[in-house]
Structure 1
Amino acid sequence: MAVIKIAIYQKNLHKRISPEEISKIQQSKAHFLILPEGFPHFFQSESPENAAKHEKEYQDHLLEISETFPGVILGGSHYRKNEEGHLVSALPIVQSLVLVDFYEKKSPSASKEPGVVPGKTESIFIMGGLRFGLLVGEDLENEAIWKEFKKEDIEIIFYLSYADEKRSYEEDLTYFESLAKEKSIHLIRVCGPSEGKPARSLYASPSGINWKVGKVEEDKDVFKTLSVNVMRSYLL
């Protein structure tokens, strides 16, 4: 069994991480830093196509964090044109000032993300000695990804999302508690507050909800370092 330190930042999507906050991230000495879907979103863009023009600025901010944080950054998500020229919602993976890879969202919303096509990258990655799965937004409902996780015996999944406003705070907890038990996984969910939408970051495992933001913290920035015990996924 190995203990992985995972820092999650429930961070306002439209506000930069300040030098003081970067120092706090560094001091966590975590192996991973997880940022919410849609972070960093500093520009008022009327469409994903327009937002993709700011790809470099988004990535530069993540690299700024990586200057002093040696762990793996699973850096929110932004729109970009991939190598095939397709517009995708991409989760950049950064470590040691290197943009290592991208996870591309497999299930973009046609109504919320016009012009964005499903990504074709792998859903399972190995970084920092850990083998883990990634989900962004609506990917949570994608059965093909879950079948792959089960086939590959994936134990820990990082889920970058917006809160689902169809569910109440209590319903969200029940949903993720049941999901973690059913799939026998550690699921770490990170959300970011934005324009009045709630953020409900949490850590669910087969034993239940291990950590959650309080109901009064749905609209706040919250930084938390979790210790996660993994049996099968640690490779070193």
Structure 2
Amino acid sequence: MPTIKISIYQKNIHKRFTKDEIGKIALARANFLLLPESFPFFFQADSPSAAAKHEKEYQDHLLEISETFKGVILGGTHYRKNEEDKLVSASPIVQSVVLVDFYEKKTLGPEETELSPGQTESIFIMGGLRFGILVGEDINNQSIWDHFEKDKIEVIFHLSSEQGVRSYEEDLEFFAGLSKKTKTHIIRVCGVSENKKGRSLYASPSGVNWKVGKMEEDKEVFKTLSVTVTSNFFL
């Protein structure tokens, strides 16, 4: 059974990557790099429409990482106008210094009233792996999970920075139970800021395989995971 190397970077959403941090990412030689929802958010605009004006600067920073990291980057999220001229929260997918595609968040949070729900596919094939993407509150969207089940998706990437209502222990229990119920590997990466806690983790049907410690909820954490899959891998 093939093993996929997945790097996650629990990152302060307001801070750029330094050259040293980009070098550390490249040295891990992972197949995938996951960055959290709301990263990068350097300009801290006061509305999604204002933030969308900085779309190119955000994407350029991801392309800078891709110059040395050869895997697939799921590059956090930023606000943009999609092809239908609707304002959405989109996760850029980057490989080999090319912006390949976008995943658009489908389940909006209570503060995202200016946005439209995304209409893109939730399932992608890149880096030889067929995988699902969820952003923030998408984790609770049953229709997406039904799609994953129908297509027998084994690996789910959850880009998160939502303010959860669960405690640290409840979060672990929730993701362990969800992974067991859906028979999937869930790799969650969180963004941190002054009011957002980071609870990045990796849950498999057997339980929580790795998690950020309770004392690291407000810290930046870089971790490379090895995930063994039984299907959905094509190399």
TM-score (normalised: structure 1)? 0.98
Aligned to 1:67: 67
Aligned partner letter, 2:203: A
- Whether 2:114 is the aligned partner of 1:153: answer no
Q: Describe how 1:92-171 pairs up with structure 2 within 5 A.
A: 92-109=92-109, 111-171=110-170
Contact 2:197–2:218 (CA under 8 A) maintained in structure 1: yes
Find the aligned partners of 1:196 and 1:45 in 2 and give their Cα distance: 16
Where does the alignment leave 5 or more consecutive residues of structure 1 unmatched?
A: none
- 1:115 to partner: Cα distance: 1.4
1:163 Cα deviation after fit: 4.8
* 1:68-83 map, 5 Å: 68-83=68-83
Quote the residue 1:13 is aligned against: 13
Match of 2:30 in 1: 30
Aligned equivalents of 2:138, 2:228: Cα separation in 1: 25
Determine if the alignment matches structure 1 residue 54 to structure 2 residue 92. Answer: no
Q: Report deviation, 1:113.
A: 1.3
Considering only aligned residues, what root-mean-square deviation do their CA atoms show, in Å?
0.8
Letter in 2 for 1:60: D
Structure 2 residue aligned with 1:226: 225
1:150-181: per-residue Cα shift (whole Å, max 9, x none)?
Answer: 00000000000125431110000000000000
What is the percent sequence identity of the aligned residues?
67
Gaps of 5+ in 2: none
Using the TM superposition, give the Cα deviation of residue 44 of structure 1 relative to its aligned residue in structure 2, in angstroms. 2.0
Which residue matches 1:189?
188
Determine the C-alpha separation between the residues in 2 that align with 1:140 and 1:44: 25
Letter in 2 for 1:56: K
- Deviation digits for residues 119-141 of structure 1 (CA, Å, limit 9, x no counterpart): 11000000000000000011111
Q: What secondary structure, in the 3-state scheme, does the structure 2 residue paired with 1:219 have?
A: coil
Runs (4+) of structure 1 exceeding 3 A deviation are none
